[in-house]
């Protein structure tokens, strides 16, 4: 087999995205550290992306037009930077909105006569439209954090009281309005379920009028978690009941329904919904985030027919440090090793410190220093770029194996046949690695505490 390395890029804490001289292949002379199993293709990769949040747009709006253009081109333009092809968006307010809102807060408006996405015209619509200029084929999906407050049993957008000193911004919730995991905070009367399904439909329709097509929805972000910010708990039975109303609305608009987002390690929560034949008819995939990663291998094993999206990489603490970047690698590896088809980051951009309206500091791919009018790409951006820049939609994940204990590698084969190998050296010193690809070996020396990507032509 003839092979050559087309490119090799490395990133360390101090030197991100360094192009290195391509190493050469040789015949194997000893036991390799890594076997890239060309004969064992796994799941198909649908793409990579991030979320469109209100505070993402307000942070980018603090920059001048040329800086915003640079960032959006870097994130979305094919062949330039991150190559993002998937975007997540909220249905109404989420925890990184400017404040609480829904598209219809008029009590008892079952006919949705007061439905309006006017709030989004200031933030989400220009954010998405700007991204589409660079990636016209951008695939969008959406999920709500909370229904309109009048559709909920507690009559409030939130489900938990502020927790001092963490998330210490008041939300006006009374103690008697606190939600409980394992209960339905959404009213289960049929007229509420039908109105909420039509609410989703109106959301799709109004965005379509603006030239923004949303191809998939999930019924609830983190359906087990009552939060200080917009949230709503559901039981599996409640979700199944709602999907029975939601499914027909989405099907007539050619919009997929995924089940999620699951933030618990209990795959039984998903299986309970899928046991409802009516709901199962409409579900084509599952969205998983946070501790739901522990459920992914079981879901993939039990239901290989369902696509799996990693919907929200864990959010960090606003420090955007190298320590968390190294942890982000373990998340990415866990999801791809266990059957995930798409991988999404959370906040694309935030002001420095990453503080939300409800007092939670989180990481982002870009941080904006508003006072200085400057921005920078974070460590996690370069890590994600190490994969997303090179792995094209339609690529397959390849199995790898090792007899030396070196497991810090992800392997992909693109539709054009090129191989992409992403490796992490988690030690402080240089590390030589022997990689067997087909019947030839590549023997690079990985810089200490680094990430490397190799693109190989066979």
Q: Any residues with CB less than 8 A from the CB of 428 and at least 6 apart, and which?
A: 448, 449
Query: Are residues 418 and 357 located together in one domain of the fold?
Result: no
Query: Are residues 114 and 67 located together in one domain of the fold?
Result: yes
User: How high is the pLDDT of residue 49?
Assistant: 98
Query: Are residues 365 and 422 located together in one domain of the fold?
Result: no
Query: Are residues 338 and 359 located together in one domain of the fold?
Result: yes
pLDDT band at residue 29 under the 50/70/90 scheme: confident
User: How high is the pLDDT of residue 163?
Assistant: 79
User: How high is the pLDDT of residue 267?
Assistant: 97
Query: Are residues 223 and 257 located together in one domain of the fold?
Result: yes
Query: Are residues 168 and 23 located together in one domain of the fold?
Result: no
Query: Are residues 384 and 418 located together in one domain of the fold?
Result: no
Query: Are residues 358 and 401 located together in one domain of the fold?
Result: no
Query: Are residues 140 and 279 located together in one domain of the fold?
Result: yes
Q: Which two tokens stand for residue 335?
A: 């999801």
Question: Please, what is the end-to-end C-alpha distance for the chain in angstroms?
Answer: 7
- Mean pLDDT over the full length of the chain: 96
User: How high is the pLDDT of residue 170?
Assistant: 86
CB environment 287-298: b (16+ within 10 A), e (fewer): bbbbebbebbeb
CATH number of the domain enclosing 24: 2.60.40.1180
Total number of domains constituting the chain: 2
Residue 234, pLDDT above cutoff 90: yes
pLDDT band at residue 167 under the 50/70/90 scheme: low
For residue 437, the enclosing domain spans 4-42+397-457
Query: If we measure between CA atoms, which residue out of 117, 131, 118, 129 comes closest to residue 49?
Result: 131
Query: Are residues 311 and 434 located together in one domain of the fold?
Result: no
Of 361, 390, 419, the residue at which a domain comes to its end is: 390
Query: Are residues 30 and 147 located together in one domain of the fold?
Result: no
What are the tens digits of pLDDT across the range 362-385?
999 999 999 999 999 999 999 999
């Amino acid at each position: 087999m003839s092979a050559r390395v087309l490119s090799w890029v490395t990133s360390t804490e101090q030197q991100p995205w360094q192009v290195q001289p391509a190493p050469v292949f040789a015949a194997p002379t000893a036991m390799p550290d890594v076997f890239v199993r060309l004969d064992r293709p796994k799941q198909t990769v649908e793409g990579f992306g991030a979320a469109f949040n209100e505070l993402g747009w307000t942070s980018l709006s603090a920059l001048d037009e040329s800086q915003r253009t640079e960032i959006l081109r870097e994130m979305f333009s094919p062949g330039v930077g991150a190559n993002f092809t998937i975007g997540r968006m909220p249905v109404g307010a989420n925890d990184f909105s400017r404040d609480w809102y829904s598209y219809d807060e008029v009590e008892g408006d079952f006919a949705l006569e007061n439905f309006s996405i006017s709030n989004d015209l200031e933030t989400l619509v220009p954010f998405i439209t700007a991204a589409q200029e660079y990636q016209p084929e951008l695939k969008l999906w959406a999920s709500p954090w909370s229904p309109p407050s009048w559709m909920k049993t507690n009559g409030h957008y939130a489900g938990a009281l502020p927790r001092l000193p963490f998330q210490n911004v008041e939300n006006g919730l009374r103690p008697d309005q606190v939600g409980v995991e394992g209960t339905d905070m959404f009213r289960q009367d049929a007229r509420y379920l039908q109105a909420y399904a039509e609410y989703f439909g109106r959301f799709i329709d109004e965005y379509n009028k603006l030239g923004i097509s949303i191809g998939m929805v999930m019924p609830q972000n983190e359906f087990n978690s009552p939060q200080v910010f917009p949230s709503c708990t559901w039981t599996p039975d409640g979700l199944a009941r709602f999907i029975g109303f939601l499914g027909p609305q989405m099907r007539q608009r050619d919009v997929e329904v995924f089940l999620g987002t699951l933030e618990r390690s209990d795959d039984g929560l998903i299986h309970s919904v899928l046991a409802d034949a009516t709901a199962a008819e409409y579900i084509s995939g599952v969205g998983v985030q946070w501790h739901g990663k522990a459920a992914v291998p079981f879901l993939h094993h039990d239901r290989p027919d369902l696509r799996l999206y990693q919907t929200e990489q864990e959010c960090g603490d606003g420090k955007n440090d190298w320590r968390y970047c190294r942890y982000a690698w373990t998340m990415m590896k866990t999801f791809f090793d266990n059957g995930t088809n798409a991988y999404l980051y959370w906040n694309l951009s935030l002001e420095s410190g990453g503080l939300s309206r409800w007092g939670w500091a989180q990481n982002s791919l870009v941080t904006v220093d508003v006072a200085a009018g400057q921005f920078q790409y974070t460590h996690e951006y370069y890590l994600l770029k190490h994969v997303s820049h090179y792995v094209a939609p339609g690529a397959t994940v390849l199995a790898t194996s090792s007899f030396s204990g070196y497991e810090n590698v992800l392997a992909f084969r693109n539709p054009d046949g090129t191989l992409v190998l992403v490796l992490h050296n988690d030690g402080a010193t240089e590390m030589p690695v022997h990689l067997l690809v087909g019947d030839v070996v590549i023997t690079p020396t990985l810089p200490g505490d680094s990430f490397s990507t190799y693109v190989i032509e066979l």
